[in-house]
Amino acid sequence: MSEMNRRRWLESMWIIAAGSALPKPDFSGQLKSPEGSGKMRLDLSEFQPKSMLHVPETKVPRSKYPVIDIHTHLSIRAKSVHGVGIGEKMEFLATPESVLPVMDRKNIKIMVNLTGGSGKGLEEAVQRFQQPHPDRFLTFTEPSWDHSDQPDYGKFQADEIERAHKAGARGLKVLKTLGLYLRENVSEGRLVKIDDSRFDSMWTLAVRLAYPSRFTSPIQKRFFCRQIVSTNALRN
């Protein structure tokens, strides 16, 4: 055996011996995937993708021109069941005193509170924001979905929008509750279609009042959610 071959043989024996002495990796803490052995399940809480978009970042602390923020939620219904708001009681997420300084710094002229609720809750939302600051806040009303299983709901809802208009509401907001969560018995039964005829009176009155109506498209998650992959897979 030549000196060179002998040296290579000794180096290979040393590598094999060193490798066998290393501790074996412990996979006991890994989650078993229902998709089969050899595959890992990645929980959403563990999903930390690396952005592949590399562009300059420009931070704009203040708008050059006055802004109307058409999409804010300064209040929400205090109670909901399976995604459907129940009752008129509202929960307020901010106060005018806390929001106005931010609006002034960012040059936001007007905020539109889309989720103003209905009935007494709407009246309170208008009194808190719009009434003391009519040039800074506008309030939209919402349908009373928790009454949608009652007879003659169409007339009831049309009357509610008429009352909301007199109370100061400036438009109608339809959340994706309609199409994703509202069911025949409010929170149970079959999903109610967005073109259900019981809502015709509501749409007709909104047109007559020239009410701006904002409708959140009820697209189900499976239509737009990307498959979750690991960070390593993104790198590869």
How many Cβ atoms sit within 10 Å of the Cβ of residue 156? Answer: 16
pLDDT at 26: 55
Q: Confirm whether pTM is higher than 0.85.
A: no
Confidence bin at 49 (pLDDT 50/70/90): confident
94-98, 144-148, 186-190, 230-234: least confidently modelled range: 230-234
The predicted-structure confidence for 203-221, as pLDDT tens digits, reads as follows 999 999 998 999 887 765 5
Which tens digits make up the pLDDT trace of 91-116? 999 999 999 999 999 999 999 999 99
- The 67-72 sheet, strands edge to edge: 67-72, 108-113, 137-141, 171-174, 213-215
**pLDDT over 90 for what percent of the chain?**
65
Distance, CA of 10 to CA of 1 (rounded, Å)? 12
Higher pLDDT, 12 or 186: 186
Predicted confidence at residue 42, as pLDDT, reads 72
How does pLDDT run across 102-152, given as a tens digit for each residue? 999 999 999 999 999 999 999 999 999 999 999 999 999 999 999 999 999
Per the model's pLDDT, the better-predicted residue between 70 and 6 turns out to be: 70
